[in-house]
Amino acid sequence: MTSILNSLKIISDPTRVRILSILEDQELSVAELQEVLNMGQSRISTQLAQLRSEELVSDRRAGKNNLYTAHIPDNLRNIIDLAVVEIPETQQDKSALTHLLSKRRDKSRAYFDELAGKFGKHYVPGRSWKALAEALLKILNYNVVADLGAGEGTLSQLLAQRAQHVIAVDNSEKMVEFGTQLAKDHNLPNLEYRLGDISDPPIEEGSVDLAIFSQALHHAERPGKALRKAYQILKPGGTLVVLDLLQHSFEQARELYYDAHLGFSEVELFSMITEAEFQSVEVVVADKELEPPHFQTILAVARK
């Protein structure tokens, strides 16, 4: 019989309440809890040990991992439910758990991860990611596209070959001037450059079919706001695509590339997109550079 007083002492810590809330319906490993809570392994293991001491969680062995489950007694349930509401990270935990479970269900992902790791290691004449990407861009068929943080507009020019209208937004006057001239030189009258910030793009609400952030979101001071603005300019059913850097520790990027953020974790990007009210959110790591500092590319797709 567990002591109610000891149990109350245990759940007085917000982190332990978060763990109980997460484990109540899902069996997770320590590594999975790390991903959801964005905490270190030792901290989580310490909290689990205390919860186990009062029989509030149990574990079982599955292969190389221990899987943990919560057991919340009836006399503590109301208290925990009330405590969860007061914890500011609760919504983030829910989004992160949803993302984790989505990855679990995607049985084919492990196969494609393995396949992607082999692509390009053996020479095949004419085969490259660049060629495949350009081929796919040429078959896209969107009416109005917003390239947010377009730079000189290489992606915008490719999209303009199929879309009816492409709006390329950048906050650099020289980039906008350069891109505008390129559009004229390449005879792309449907490609329009606009000076503006990706956190408040000069685009009418509900007017865009596809909004893209290609290695632009980590330059935004408030990436969550930029995503909410993208939601606003999209038509109902419109598509969001984000290509960015996976979270890294290459601090020199702040000075070399003027990055405001050192990339984003899968969970962080998933949470920001979900909080911007997008649906059907998918986030994957799409590529890893072979040269140091081994930047990885994260890809997210969602619907309004």
| pLDDT tens, position by position, 163-208 | 999 999 999 999 999 999 999 999 999 999 999 999 999 999 999 9
Distance, CA of 246 to CA of 270 (rounded, Å): 12
Strand ranges (E), the chain: 57-62, 65-70, 144-148, 165-170, 191-195, 208-214, 234-245, 279-288, 296-303
4-91 has CATH 1.10.10.10 classification: yes
Amino acid identity of residue 261, one-letter, is H
Q: Residue 104's Cα: distance from chain center in Å?
A: 16
Whether the Cβ atoms of residue 20 and residue 93 lie closer than 8 Å to each other? no
Higher per-residue pLDDT: 290 or 213: 213
3-class SS of residue 222: coil
CA distance 157 to 176: 13
Beta bridge partners of 134: none
Q: For 35-68, write each residue's pLDDT tens digit.
A: 999 999 999 999 999 999 889 999 988 778 899 9
β-pair partners for 69? 58
**For the packed helices 41-53 and 14-23, what is the interaxial angle rounded to 10 degrees?**
80
Residues paired with residue 244 on neighbouring β-strands, in sequence order: 298
pLDDT above 90: residue 20: yes
Whole-model pTM over 0.85 = no
- Beta strands 165-170 and 144-148, pairing class: parallel
Domain regions of the chain by residue span:
4-91, 108-303
CA distance 220 to 196: 12
CATH architecture of 108-303: 3-Layer(aba) Sandwich (3.40)
Element (H, E) at 135: helix 129-139
Task: Tell me what the pLDDT averaged over the chain comes to.
Answer: 88
**Residue 210 pLDDT > 90, yes or no?**
yes
- Show Cβ contacts of residue 61 under 8 Å, excluding neighbours closer than 6 positions: 67
Q: How many CB atoms lie within 10 A of CB 65?
A: 14
Placement of tokens 């709006």 in the chain: 167
The pLDDT value recorded for residue 226 is 97
Q: Identify the pLDDT of residue 280.
A: 94
